[in-house]
Amino acid sequence: MEVINWKEFLYPYEQAVAELTTKLQFLMNEYRRLGLYSPMEAITGRVKQPSSILDKARKKHIPEDKIEEEVEDIAGVRIICQFVEDIPKVIALIRRRDGQDMTILEERDYITNTKPSGYRSYHIIIRYPIQTVSGYREVLAELQIRTLAMNFWAVTEHSLKYKYRGQIPEDIKERLIHCAEAAFNLDNEMSTIRNEIMYAQRYNKLKDSLMADILDYIQNLYSVASLQEMEQANKRLVGLWENGSLDDLKKLKADLAQMAEVYGV
Ligand code: 0O2
């Protein structure tokens, strides 16, 4: 049997991971640019190490010449959400692309069906097309969608698995199950205050954007308005900086906009 040239073998997967993470990051940034709440908090990607691919192939009795077709997570992209409620929204965003820039092959819901280890996450296996020097080809990729709490648990459990070479001692396994329950409760608890958190996030974003506009107006007006007018504007801004309401800031912005119109700046 031919020895796998790993560098060559993994290159298309690196391309797929780079493209997928970039596309999803752009989508996430677009929400933010539009001032909307993004159901995606962070996107990461990785290509599985050759040793890990071979371990998995051995464990699942996959011959080396079938690795490409049967090991589904050589290319892996992780989408982290703040709240459990964001997960169905991300799933919908992915499903919307089915038949466009990817094909969904399978979905595995380990959130409804938690694994015995305590692992929770939503997996979508896709076929992803790439263009290479030798032409068109498709690779398999696994998208893992999970909350920050699910991720915290999974990353910790994964490193323990690595430390104990897959044989985590029973007492630690039990503690991990308790931690998984705690992560589940944390997700539920966070859901109950989700609306308040989302309101606070929107409020801060709006306040930052109003402040930026006000500072822009003040800077532009400095060269044309009177010293007295600018002192007054600055005084109002300082007064509102810490405790001003959004309405107060909107009023200041409107007054400055009017002044800018009068002065033609
Ligand atoms: P890595 O290092 O993240 O790539 P199986 O071997 O049966 O667990 P299968 O059938 O290929 O996996 O698919 P599954 O279970 O849908 O998804 C596999 C991937 O999901 C794993 O890849 C992990 O990333 C993650 N995962 C699944 N179960 C667990 C778990 O109990 N704990 C943690 N921390 N992650 C899990 P790899 O290859 O195991 O690891």
pLDDT(143) > 70: yes
Each residue's pLDDT tens digit, 54-72: 999 999 999 999 999 999 9
- Whether 108 is in the pocket of ligand 1, judged by its Cβ within 6 Å, is yes
Share above pLDDT 70 across residues of the chain, in percent, rounded to a whole number: 100
Share above pLDDT 90 across residues of the chain, in percent, rounded to a whole number: 83
- 171 CA → ligand 1 middle, Å: 21
**Could you give all domains of the chain from N- to C-terminal order, each with its CATH number?**
6-183 (3.30.460.10), 196-263 (no CATH)
- 74 CA → ligand 1 middle, Å: 11
Q: Which residue has the higher pLDDT, 224 or 166?
A: 224
189 catalytic? Reply is no
pLDDT(243) > 90: no
- Atom number in ligand 1 closest to CA 71: 11
To the nearest whole number, what is the mean pLDDT of the chain? 94
Each residue's pLDDT tens digit, 70-110: 999 999 999 999 999 999 999 999 999 999 999 999 999 99
- Whether 48 is in the pocket of ligand 1, judged by its Cβ within 6 Å, is yes
Nearest protein CA to atom 18 of ligand 1, as residue? 73
- 63 CA → ligand 1 middle, Å: 19
- 70 CA → ligand 1 middle, Å: 14
Each residue's pLDDT tens digit, 208-229: 899 999 999 999 999 999 999 9
What mean pLDDT comes out for the span 14-40? 94
- Atom number in ligand 1 closest to CA 117: 31
pLDDT attached to residue 37: 87
Residue of 8, 14, 106, 142 marked catalytic? 142
- 188 CA → ligand 1 middle, Å: 24
The tokens for 8 are: 């060559």
- Whether 123 is in the pocket of ligand 1, judged by its Cβ within 6 Å, is yes
Please answer whether residues 242 and 199 qualify as being in contact, where contact means their C-beta atoms are separated by less than 8 angstroms: no
Residues 228, 236: Cα–Cα separation, whole Å: 12
- Whether 119 is in the pocket of ligand 1, judged by its Cβ within 6 Å, is yes
Long-range contacts of 129-136 (CB under 8 A, 24+ apart): 129/101, 129/102, 130/12, 130/15, 130/16, 130/19, 132/11, 132/12, 132/15
What phi-psi label fits residue 107: left (phi over 0), alpha (psi between -120 and 50 degrees) or beta?
beta
pLDDT(1) > 70: no
- Whether 220 is in the pocket of ligand 1, judged by its Cβ within 6 Å, is no
What mean pLDDT comes out for the span 161-183? 92
- Whether 173 is in the pocket of ligand 1, judged by its Cβ within 6 Å, is no
pLDDT(145) > 70: yes
- Whether 194 is in the pocket of ligand 1, judged by its Cβ within 6 Å, is no
pLDDT attached to residue 73: 98
- Atom number in ligand 1 closest to CA 125: 16
Neighbours of 197 (CB within 10 A): 14
